[in-house]
Amino acid sequence: MFDTLSSRLDKAFSSLRGKGRLSEADISATAREIRVALLEADVALPVVRAFVGAVRERARGEEVSTSLNPAQQVIKIVNQELVTILGGGTTTLRFARTPPTVILLAGLQGTGKTTLAGKLGRWLKEQGHTPLLVAADLQRPNAVTQLQVVAGQAGVDVYAPEPGNGVGDPVAVARAAVEHARRRLHDVVVVDTAGRLGVDADMMRQAADIRDVTSPDEILFVVDAMIGQDAVTTAQAFADGVGFTGVVLTKLDGDARGGAALSVAHLTGRPIMFASTGEALDDFDVFHPERMASRILGMGDVLTLIEQAEKAFEAEQAEQLAAKMAASEFTLSDFLEQMLTVRKMGPIANLLGMLPGMGQMKDQLAQIDDRDVDRVVAIIRSMTPAERDDPRILQASRKARVARGSGVTVTEVNQLLDRFEEARKVMKQMAGGLGGPGGALRAKSAAGRKAAKKAKGAKRKGNPAARAAQTQAQRAAAEARRAGGLPGGPAGQAPGLGEGELPDLSALMRGEGLPGGAFPPPGQGHGRRR
């Protein structure tokens, strides 16, 4: 949504790079470019004036004039001012001390309130709550049925005593829903109200009546991020007629200019609390102003990327894959599993766009097609388990069969195998120059055995005094090994192990069997890691 704005801002900053000092003309030209960029993004004029004025004032100040890199300092100022107009900080839901917490959804018709109710219900359930969705939109055709379907997909309960389609009293439904939630021990009630076709006095009064009978802890105004400055006008009308405590932006995945997102929080004084970025129920999350500002300026959003990865990847699965990579046992089956997990995180271009610096590669990201990933998945799935475990057995006839089964050419199969083999080599190198986990221990053990063998086969000293010192040193070393004072124990073994047995690496990492613990417990390192 913010691609055009990002490109214009980057163009405004490009003229500043490389300058050791900014003149008044430089600051004025940059402010002018920023103003045009915001206006083209359909940001409300009062917001544009306030934003550009703040940036201009700070750019003239000491923090830029004394900076070693004025261009970077200006970008920092713009980033901070973007965070300010987007709300200043992350705002979370306010829960009632005595359940249930009542959340009222309001907004224009067509903004996606019913779907949002399902997304919010799913999100609340993931946070450990027991939400109840209430079908209080009895005007729109099939609104009740839609909420029931969405609630079923989200795995949450729904309260829908009336069929809707113009039948039933939404105020009575909302009042009864709160009592129903108390009886059934639901700790959150999400009320889906009817949408308005504009500033409709009758419908606004109905929303106010539902507010009065439910005493909501939060009233969320749902805004379609694609409708531009009209969102601000509507938001102000709702603030005067019903009042709301927070804003939810929907359709942030659209190709509109995004002015609503940059205007509504600043002009209404209400924070943006949630954002919907797609049609799927999990395309919904808490709105973070600082992350959105970072993405607008092309600086990435690593924290969101990490959170999405944590949701998609299980810790145990990640550890198993890491172990296989380190041991050079990573197969095409593991690669397939990894590809499918990455696909759960969303479009590949969106994921790469969250990385810092990728804002300069918008054209390349636009050319990324998720169907390429699907093609790779089809190729691997056309192989037998034995072929996935050992691609070397894929001769010409097998490759031709795989190509036919996946609908690609043999050349594409060969390209995949070549890339996979190169990736395995890189993984092996990254696992450690000493052979991956335990490689350093094995190297030390090998060196120790070599030294012991050399010492054992060494000639006895001819000088009586030297021979006595040599014998004494050998006895001291033997006593130390028997006492467990040196790793390796008797005969160079780990304590408590028979000949030929491998030590428990997890025990060694905890320091068991080693003098004083060879490695510190988690959080108690021996200084800075290098």
Residue 261: which residues within 8 A CB-CB, separation 6 or more? 1, 86, 225, 249, 252, 272, 292
| Beta bridge pairs of residue 102 | 189
Output the DSSP codes for 100-166. PEEEEEEEBTTS-HHHHHHHHHHHHHHTT--EEEEEE--SSTTHHHHHHHHHHHHT-EEE--S-BTT
Average pLDDT over residues 179-194: 94
**Structural tokens at position 296:** 């607008």
Residue 176: which residues within 8 A CB-CB, separation 6 or more? 159, 161
Share of the chain above pLDDT 70, in %: 65
pLDDT at 503: 40
Average pLDDT over residues 274-287: 86
Out of 157-171, 187-201, 299-313, 437-451, give the one with best mean pLDDT: 157-171
Q: Mark 233-246 as b/e (b = at least 16 C-beta within 10 Å).
A: ebbebbbebbebbb
CB atoms within 10 A of CB 24: 9
pLDDT at 422: 83
**Weakest-pLDDT range from 36-40, 316-320, 413-417, 519-523:** 519-523
**Alpha carbon distance 268, 333 (integer Å):** 52
**Weakest-pLDDT range from 80-94, 106-120, 259-273, 506-520:** 506-520
- Average model confidence (pLDDT) for the chain? 75
- Asked if the model's pLDDT at residue 449 lies above 80, the reply is no
What is the C-alpha R_g of the chain? 32
Q: What is the pLDDT of residues 321-348, one digit of tens each?
A: 667 666 667 788 888 887 777 777 766 6
DSSP label at 2? -
**Alpha carbon distance 146, 167 (integer Å):** 16
253 is in an annotated binding site: yes
192 is in an annotated binding site: yes
130 is in an annotated binding site: no
Amino acid letter, 212: D
Residue 13: which residues within 8 A CB-CB, separation 6 or more? 30, 71, 74, 75, 78
109 is in an annotated binding site: yes
**Alpha carbon distance 175, 102 (integer Å):** 11
- Work out the angle at residue 356's Cα, subtended by the Cα atoms of residues 351 and 358, and round it to the nearest 5 degrees: 65
Amino acid letter, 114: T
114 is in an annotated binding site: yes
pLDDT at 448: 47
Quick one: how far is CA 153 from the chain centroid?
23
**Structural tokens at position 325:** 């990579």
DSSP label at 433? T
- Asked if the model's pLDDT at residue 104 lies above 90, the reply is yes
The pair phi, psi for residue 434, each rounded to 5°, is -105, 15
110 is in an annotated binding site: yes
pLDDT at 190: 96
- Work out the angle at residue 327's Cα, subtended by the Cα atoms of residues 324 and 333, and round it to the nearest 5 degrees: 35
Of 318, 322, 320, the C-alpha closest to 310 is: 318
The domains located in the chain, with CATH, are: 3-85 (1.20.120.140), 101-299 (3.40.50.300), 307-430 (1.10.260.30)
Q: What is the pLDDT of residues 349-378, one digit of tens each?
A: 666 666 665 555 656 666 667 778 888 889
**Structural tokens at position 62:** 């000491």
107 is in an annotated binding site: yes
381 is in an annotated binding site: no
| 404 or 73, which is more confident | 404
Share of the chain above pLDDT 90, in %: 25
251 is in an annotated binding site: yes
Q: What is the pLDDT of residues 22-48, one digit of tens each?
A: 788 888 888 888 888 888 888 888 888
| 188 or 269, which is more confident | 188
Amino acid letter, 462: G
**Structural tokens at position 240:** 């005067």
Q: What is the pLDDT of residues 163-175, one digit of tens each?
A: 888 888 999 999 9
pLDDT band at 402 (very low <50, low <70, confident <90, very high): very high
194 is in an annotated binding site: yes
The pair phi, psi for residue 45, each rounded to 5°, is -60, -45
**Alpha carbon distance 263, 44 (integer Å):** 6
193 is in an annotated binding site: yes
